[in-house]
Amino acid sequence: MVLPYAATDTFSFFILLILFSLIVIGFGIIIYLNISFIKNQKTTFETMNSDNLKLISELKERVDALGLMFSKTMDNLNDFKLTKASHDNLIKDMKSEITRIADGISGQDIMTKAIELARSDANVEQIMSSTGLSKSDAEAIIKFHKN
């Protein structure tokens, strides 16, 4: 190949050629390093992204589990409310029954006392004042239970 005179005899041409080659090689190295860095960052990003997706999935499972726990707690609380209401009604009924029985026992105590007085020869006025019974009740007790 035949080069012009200035290109063949000039030392500066070789220097320019070497500098140009070095610049091209330098840009090639810079481009290669950038591509390597981008690939490395892409791999790191994908790893972080997959880790984040796993963490989000685990978090979703935990939130779902908490929701289920809250739902069961709410069901248990509602059952407790129903049971409490049932127990309250049962206690109310028991109080009414105890009051009714106590009234019956109180009435029987009065009658027992009146019968004992009649057997000990008490008169109608004494039975009426001691027990609070009416005159007709006191007379009937004396009639049937007097010795």
Q: Are 121 and 131 in contact (CB under 8 A)?
A: no
Q: Is residue 3 part of a domain?
A: no
- Cα 49 → chain centroid: 33
Q: How many domains does the chain have?
A: 1
Q: What pLDDT digit, counting tens, does each position of 66-86 carry?
A: 999 999 999 999 999 999 999
Q: Is residue 66 part of a domain?
A: yes
CA separation for the pair 133, 138 (Å, rounded): 6
In a domain? residue 10: no
Cβ-contact 105, 97 below 8 angstroms? no
Task: Specify the higher pLDDT residue, 114 or 38.
Answer: 38
Q: Is 9 domain-assigned?
A: no
What pLDDT does residue 146 have?
75
Kindly state whether residue 70 falls inside one of the protein's structural domains: yes
Q: How far apart are CA 45 and CA 143, in angstroms?
A: 110
Residue 140 resides in a domain: yes
Residue 111: inside a domain, yes or no? yes
In a domain, 132, yes or no: yes
- 106 HSE (CA, 13 A, CB side): 8
Instruction: Reply yes or no on whether the pLDDT at 2 is more than 90.
Output: no
Residue 122 belongs to domain spanning:
17-43+57-145
Position 130 pLDDT exceeds 80: yes
